Structure 1
Amino acid sequence: MATVLHSGPRYASNEGVCDTLCAALGDMVAERHEEHGEILITVRRDSVEDALRTLRDDHGYQQLMEIAGVDYPDRPERFEVVYMLLSLTKNHRVMVKCSTDEATPVPTATRLWPNAGWLEREVFDMYGVTFAGNTDLRRILTDYGFEGHPFRKDFPLTGYQELRYSEEEKRVVYEPVELAQDFRSFDFMSPWEGADYVLPGDEKAATPQVSDPKTTDSPKDTGAGEKTDAKAAEKVSAGAPAESGIGKDDAGAPAPTESRPGRPRREGKSPDTSAATETDEEKD
């Protein structure tokens, strides 16, 4: 079988990529970060559209794969908008993000990628982040008339109204939103970075090892052996009903019912009934 070669690399290294991209973006970069094999570049909010255009046109990141939101309630600009870009020619990914608050809009990316319209609507619906220039910024996941944004960390468990169609009343009804949520503490630490508290299930890791484990290497450890076999062979219930018929001749099965003498011939309702139920003697 011939080997098929492709011009694109199987995977691309991050070596030198972050320096090259940040040098091209210049003053638009507010912060850069590289960890866990991923490159994350934070740009200034007003420059996000120009930064994305530079990465698309000059550095080959042709596809916008996703736009995600993050909420940090303790920050002055509590929301982060993360753009995940993919280069098909380099087989490489990079993440670009910017921060904003509840009132300041983020420049839209719909002029660069048409699919950004749907992604921005999702961030708007879940977090309440607005995008300047998006001509169709509507809710996309929640229902009409829904109040609030469910992915915000301070979204209340109850108190907002939702509407649904009631089959019993045959109309649209308004009801309070009730969301089951056990924990309201905000923990932004990644589990891959290591938590400073014991995660559920980790307490088993502190269990000490058994110093002298029990083994079954010999019959004495399992209880088996000649003495045990002899004990099992003893007849504890001698004379039981199951033993009373042992050694007697079997009387045999009863005679077939259709072979009994003197039985009148059976009249079948179908042509093959009599042939199937009568013996050869009855047929003669």
Structure 2
Amino acid sequence: PALGLLPPSTSCPAPYVSIGTFPDIQTRRMSMLLHKFSEQLMRAAPRAITSVKPQGWDLVATTTPKDLLPSLFFLKNSSMSQFHGLIDIVGADYPDRADRFELTYVLLSYQYKTRMLLRTTANETTIVPSAVDVFPSADWHEREVWDMYGIYFGGHPNLRRILTDYGFEGHPLRKDFPLTGYVETRYDATLGRIVYEPVELAQEYRDFSFNSPWTKIGEELPTAIESGKKE
């Protein structure tokens, strides 16, 4: 039978419930249910999902890129989980790791009001299978991850940039991407279009005067007392 982390609701349930809205007794009950659910999940899909552990009121699971699609399919269609919503795919870059990129698939179970974070890792040459066939909402999420990190999703129907323009070089959320970027854009009134130019950080010499103009005027004008002494 399905393990309901919270009783299924016949009305429209909230997709995520904050831990602060429940008293301590329900918090402990929720923690016990999450531990029980993680154990059942590991028994049901031991090869695809390498680990499952509770974290707060969320479940955090890990898998490999080759087992990503079977894991997502199981979590979506199994009666014990019913994670029917993929609301985000989050990327992170850890240059010191062998697999420097970490992908987190944020899943929601509307039936049981539970959130799961399914994580996998990749490097510059890893081809991560696209999840569009399992979750159509992954389309734009994967395009954003590709644009920002350069992680390639094999089988994506239209993998192109979504936030930067088509001539952009590099992937700006990588840790080795320079903060200033490689080029800057500006509007050229003569050409009547946007132009790309190399970034120039050097500036011409400028002599700044921090003296107040009112101070200078005060020094030039005599005060009333000084005028009286002179008379």
- Identity across matched positions, percent: 42
Structure 2, gaps ≥5 residues long: 1-7, 18-28, 202-231
Q: 2:147 aligns with which of 100, 125, 150?
A: 125
Q: Structure 1 stretches (4+) deviating beyond 4 angstroms?
A: 8-12, 162-165
Mapping 1:57-68, distance limit 5 Å:
57-58=77-78, 59-68=81-90
- In the alignment, the residues of structure 2 paired with residue 102 and residue 178 of structure 1 have an alpha-carbon distance, to the nearest angstrom, of 29
- The reply to whether residue 95 of structure 1 matches residue 114 of structure 2 is no
Secondary structure of 1:26's match? coil
Q: Which amino acid aligns with 1:45?
A: P
Q: Which amino acid aligns with 2:37?
A: V
Secondary structure of 1:16's match? helix
Q: Which amino acid aligns with 1:78?
A: R
Mapping 1:134-153, distance limit 5 Å:
134-153=156-175
Structure 1, gaps ≥5 residues long: 180-284
Provide the residue aligned with 2:38 in structure 1. 18
> TM-score, normalising length from structure 2?
0.68
Q: Which amino acid aligns with 1:24?
A: A
Query: What is the CA-CA distance between 1:57 and the residue it aligns to?
Result: 0.6
Q: 2:182 aligns with which of 160, 175, 192?
A: 160
Q: 2:58 aligns with which of 38, 42, 55?
A: 38
In structure 2, the CA distance between the partners of 1:47 and 1:165, relative to structure 1 (3 Å rule), is: farther
What do the CA deviations read for 1:62-81 (whole angstroms, capped 9, x no partner)?
Answer: 11111110110100100011
Provide the residue aligned with 1:28 in structure 2. 48
Query: What is the CA-CA distance between 1:112 and the residue it aligns to?
Result: 0.8
- In the alignment, the residues of structure 2 paired with residue 132 and residue 162 of structure 1 have an alpha-carbon distance, to the nearest angstrom, of 31
What do the CA deviations read for 1:107-145 (whole angstroms, capped 9, x no partner)?
Answer: 110001111110000000011101011020000001121
- In the alignment, the residues of structure 2 paired with residue 67 and residue 148 of structure 1 have an alpha-carbon distance, to the nearest angstrom, of 20
Q: Which moved more, 1:65-74 or 1:20-29?
A: 20-29
Mapping 1:43-54, distance limit 5 Å:
43-54=63-74
Query: What is the CA-CA distance between 1:171 and the residue it aligns to?
Result: 2.0
Mapping 1:1-284, distance limit 5 Å:
6-7=9-10, 13=30, 14-58=34-78, 59-158=81-180, 160-163=182-185, 165-167=187-189, 169-176=191-198
Query: What is the CA-CA distance between 1:82 and the residue it aligns to?
Result: 0.7
Using CA pairs under 8 Å that are at least 6 residues apart, name the structure with larger relative contact order, 1 or 2. Answer: 2
Query: What is the CA-CA distance between 1:100 and the residue it aligns to?
Result: 0.4
- In the alignment, the residues of structure 2 paired with residue 178 and residue 23 of structure 1 have an alpha-carbon distance, to the nearest angstrom, of 58
Query: What is the CA-CA distance between 1:34 and the residue it aligns to?
Result: 2.5
| C-alpha RMSD of the superposition | 2.5
Q: Which moved more, 1:148-157 or 1:29-38?
A: 29-38
The answer on whether the counterparts of 2:9 and 2:111 sit within 8 Å (CA) in structure 1 is no
The answer on whether the counterparts of 1:69 and 1:127 sit within 8 Å (CA) in structure 2 is yes
The answer on whether the counterparts of 1:163 and 1:174 sit within 8 Å (CA) in structure 2 is yes
Query: What is the CA-CA distance between 1:84 and the residue it aligns to?
Result: 0.5
In structure 2, the CA distance between the partners of 1:162 and 1:91, relative to structure 1 (3 Å rule), is: same
Paired residues in the alignment total 175
